[in-house]
Structure 1
Amino acid sequence: MDFLSACATPTPVTHSVVTPAVTLGQNRKIQVRRLGLVPYEPTWELQEQLLASTLAIKASNREAQEADAPTQGTPNYLLLCEHPHVYTLGKSGKPEHLLLDEASLAEHGATFHRINRGGDITYHGPGQLVGYPIFDLDNFFTDIHRYLRVLEEAVIHTLAEYGLAAGRIAGLTGVWLDFEEGAANPRKICAMGVKCSRWVTMHGFALNVNTDLAYFSHIVPCGIADKAVTSLQQEVGHPVALSEVQERLLQHLTTLFGAEVQPE
């Protein structure tokens, strides 16, 4: 059972609605790894390793249950990082949405990867906060659409702390400014694309904090040609400490998931 998701019709969520009650056997602790600026490919490999180890525990637990033997809890991880300039194309994406050839990629100091998340093409680079939750949703709730909405909600609450009213556009995953129907200049500030295998997630979100937005001009972001991209820096008029945004977002994520950070 694999899900690839990046474009689902949003349903509204709030703190009081989405915080799930803990049931027996659920592990609500999250191991947070603050990786700093790291290349894309080894970070993807790390996600795959953590996913595989969690799936192995779940498989062992199924065998233990059949034998009426004890089971072990599954872990939850959250990788927080930045990447050097890189474009990634999801399984449902169109290669022509990358507007650079191989030589031009090199000129811009960027790399390109086809990956196994949902969605189309996006950009990662310095000044962008990227989060990769490797969560076992059996520890929270088994609903991939709700999972995406909760990730979005955490970003929306974080941006509100900087005076920005952010929200969703029906049918488009991610977080937007001027998102209301009929608004003159809707612009995306956070992109999302995930994979889910046996209710264990990988990939995640990319929030533009102090991102060089010029790099988005070399793609059709998320396959959407008629809407703009923005950053927290552009909206508030000055750079914002990425570490500060990271910790504020982490607080909202743990609140919304009813979780806590596991001490290192």
Structure 2
Amino acid sequence: MQLSPDPAIEWRRSLGQVPYREALAEQEARNVALAAGEGQELVWMLEHPPVYTAGTSADAAELVDPRFDVVDTGRGGRYTYHGPGQRVTYVLLDLKKRTKDVRQFVHALEGWAIATLADFGVEAFAVPERVGIWTHDASGAEAKIGAIGVRVRRWVTMHGFAVNLSPDLSHFTGIVPCGISEYGVTSMAALGKTVAPGDWDEALLARAGDFLAAISQTEPA
């Protein structure tokens, strides 16, 4: 489905569940094409059937109960859960056309998710020493509401971020999410916010221009 914050980018929304391995294979192929100067950049919003994914820093001791498929991804980070009720956004962009600064790219992803959550009345924030997108749960304690994990190969990005709309939070107990055991995981539903996937996508797209501006090239290539 072609949307239009930037017509040079393919903006795709999948409203059914896309198997994780299928999505990963498509990302790999698009990444290779973009690195070769071919194909179109892609921002893809979707959900997966339940799956645990392992980043390059994953510790086997943090895979507590592998009740779902476990996939090695090549992205940075540790173990993450994806499943129904969690909206994932994959961002495949050529940073040679934008900013060749991976940290700036990651901060822009955080800012995009945080600003969109605010549009639904959820105050979220980043914590420098902790990966992810954070908020306060119903008890007032800090809890993770979103995950970020990226891979950059030949300046072309893969993977992206995931925000918990209404997943089964018990599924996160099969891993130590992102290696952080001191804090819990929450969702928009757990905070009393009912948000349909399509409504989330529309809000995210409304903020896409700000995200793209945040990774615009600041110096000549």
**TM-score when scaled to structure 1?**
0.74
In the alignment, structure 1 residue 50 sits paired with structure 2 residue 30: yes
Deviation at 1:239, TM superposition (A): 2.8
Amino acid at match of 1:100: D
- In the alignment, which of 134, 138, 141 is matched to residue 176 of structure 1? 134
Q: Unpaired segments of 5 or more residues in structure 1?
A: 1-26, 59-73, 260-264
State the alpha-carbon separation in 1 of the partners of residues 69 and 110 from structure 2.
27
- In the alignment, which of 131, 136, 141 is matched to residue 94 of structure 2? 136
Please name the residue that 1:234 is paired with: 190
Matches for 1:76-95 after TM superposition, within 5 Å:
76-95=41-60
Do the aligned residues in 1 keep the contact of 2:8 with 2:41 (CA within 8 Å)? yes
Cα deviation code 1:135-194 (max 9, x no counterpart): 001222111111011111011111111111111112222210149xxx961111110100
Do the aligned residues in 1 keep the contact of 2:120 with 2:193 (CA within 8 Å)? no
Q: CA RMSD in A?
A: 2.0
Q: Percent identity?
A: 37
Deviation at 1:48, TM superposition (A): 0.3
Amino acid at match of 2:158: M
Do the aligned residues in 2 keep the contact of 1:83 with 1:124 (CA within 8 Å)? yes
Do the aligned residues in 2 keep the contact of 1:174 with 1:190 (CA within 8 Å)? yes
Larger relative helix fraction:
1
State the alpha-carbon separation in 2 of the partners of residues 29 and 232 from structure 1.
32
Structure 1 outlier segments of 4+, above 4 Å? none
Please name the residue that 1:189 is paired with: 145
In the alignment, structure 1 residue 145 sits paired with structure 2 residue 103: yes
User: SS of the residue aligned with 1:234?
Assistant: coil
Deviation at 1:28, TM superposition (A): 7.6
Please name the residue that 2:11 is paired with: 32
Do the aligned residues in 1 keep the contact of 2:124 with 2:134 (CA within 8 Å)? yes
**TM-score when scaled to structure 2?**
0.88
Please name the residue that 1:224 is paired with: 180
1:162–1:127 CA distance, 2 compared to 1 (3 A): same
Q: Unpaired segments of 5 or more residues in structure 2?
A: 1-5, 215-221
- In the alignment, which of 101, 124, 140 is matched to residue 166 of structure 1? 124
Please name the residue that 1:253 is paired with: 208
Amino acid at match of 1:221: P
Greater relative contact order (Cα < 8 A, sep 6+): 1
Provide the aligned length of Structure 1 versus Structure 2: 207
Query: Highest CA radius of gyration, 1 or 2?
Result: 1
